[in-house]
Chains A and B, each alone.
Chain A
Amino acid sequence: GAGVSQSPRYKVAKRGQDVALRCDPISGHVSLFWYQQALGQGPEFLTYFQNEAQLDKSGLPSDRFFAERPEGSVSTLKIQRTQQEDSAVYLCASSLDIDRGSSYEQYFGPGTRLTVT
């Protein structure tokens, strides 16, 4: 079946521009996660949703970062007034239901590589 998809795959933004990154999770997956991955590092948690509820946003690096999932399916990560330090790969993952069941594995999309110039 279809996996997690993300768009765009690459985004170049000028410093100060706003960007929006989209994630389409696996159909029926309740839990959705956003991560930031710097070159040569493991993914770092940003935020997660259960359906449309954003339950943890402790990893968002500043108030310029904002995520939403209004209908409990597609999610958008928005970064306002981008800075050079925002350059990274942004990964989205979905999980059947992190709070229930006996398996919690997360399935990742291909990521969006953001370059801020």
Chain B
Amino acid sequence: EDQVTQSPEALRLQEGESSSLNCSYTVSGLRGLFWYRQDPGKGPEFLFTLYSAGEEKEKERLKATLTKKESFLHITAPKPEDSATYLCAVLKWDNDMRFGAGTRLTVKP
């Protein structure tokens, strides 16, 4: 069965304390893997798309990587404004899009 699992469910960091969020997936026919950021009361905001194992993308303090079984979102020297829920989603070739439950990140000053 197709599954997308994110860990940890919640993560509390001190400002400047780097860490990684994990997204593991078991899907048949991966077309792309997406990372989104969601703030309370808002819709998900697109961050990255990864298409194949070994691919990496960066944006400011965030870097996303992809292997055949999982993706990591690395956060370097986070700031309080990085606090949000980070969602991972996989798109299959039949256009079925599956989301994980998200990781709630809190960065304390």
Listed in ascending order, the chain A residues whose CB lies under 8 Å from chain B are 4, 33, 35, 40-45, 48, 55-56, 91, 93, 98-99, 103-111
The chain B residue sitting closest to A113, CB to CB, is B41
Provide a sorted-by-A list of 18 A–B residue pairs whose CB atoms are within 8 angstroms. A40-B101, A41-B101, A41-B102, A42-B101, A42-B102, A43-B99, A48-B95, A55-B95, A56-B96, A91-B43, A93-B43, A99-B95, A104-B49, A104-B91, A105-B34, A105-B46, A108-B44, A111-B42
Could you count the A-B residue pairs with CB atoms below 8 Å apart for me: how many are there? 53
With A105-B46, A105-B49, A108-B43 in contact, do A56 and B95 touch (Cβ < 8 Å)? yes
Which of B95, B96, B102 is packed against the most chain A CB atoms within 10 Å?
A: B95
Contact A42 B31 (CB under 8 A): no
With A104-B31, A104-B49, A105-B34 in contact, do A42 and B99 touch (Cβ < 8 Å)? yes
With A110-B42, A110-B43 in contact, do A42 and B89 touch (Cβ < 8 Å)? yes
Known pairs A45-B96, A104-B31, A111-B42 / 8 extra A-B pairs, C-beta < 8 Å: A4-B43, A43-B87, A45-B98, A55-B95, A103-B49, A104-B32, A106-B34, A111-B43
Q: Once the chains are docked, how many angstroms separate the CA of A106 from the CA of B32? A: 12
The chain B residue sitting closest to A58, CB to CB, is B96
Q: Once the chains are docked, how many angstroms separate the CA of A111 from the CA of B44? A: 9
Q: Once the chains are docked, how many angstroms separate the CA of A110 from the CA of B98? A: 19
B53 at the interface (CB under 8 A from A): no
Q: Once the chains are docked, how many angstroms separate the CA of A113 from the CA of B36? A: 20
Contact A98 B95 (CB under 8 A): yes
- Minimum Cβ distance to chain A for residue B54 (Å): 17
B45 at the interface (CB under 8 A from A): yes
Contact A109 B43 (CB under 8 A): yes
**In the complex, chain B residues 13-55 whose Cβ is within 8 Å of any chain A Cβ:** 31-32, 34, 36, 41-46, 49
